[in-house]
Amino acid sequence: MEKHFEGEIAGRSATLFTAAFDQTTGVGTYVAMESFEGSLCGRTGAFNFVHSATTSGSDRTAELFTIVPTSGTGELAGISGAGGMAVEADGTHRIWFDYELEVGR
């Protein structure tokens, strides 16, 4: 799947997504690997990140969100850290990154 981002995180990602999910009850777990290209707080480049979560139908638990080490390119070379995602009632996804860049980049 392809995702598009707007705001302080602007660009697109190609996403490999898989899940064990019961559509009837809304219970399950997903895992996604994303390859992002664009800008993060004005710095351009690319990097990869992985995220997953489990839901019982009304919540998100066991969340994981990690930037893949050494995956950054361009002005995002050396990026490391984590992040998170919130899903609003209307289905809108909000994403954020808690990241660091190597000194001198």
Whole-model pTM? 0.87
DSSP secondary structure of the chain? -EEEE-SSEEEEEEEEEEEEEETTTTEEEEEEEEEEEEEETTEEEEEEEEEEEEESSS--EEEEEEEPTT--EETTTT-EEEEEEEE-TTS-EEEEEEEE--TT-
What is the tens place of the pLDDT at every residue in 2-40? 999 999 999 999 999 999 999 999 899 999 999 999 999
Tell me the per-residue pLDDT of 82-91, one tens digit each, with 9 for 90 and over. 999 988 889 8
pLDDT tens readout for residues 30-73: 999 999 999 999 999 999 999 999 999 888 899 999 999 999 99
- The topology under which CATH files domain 2-100 is AOC barrel-like (2.40.350)
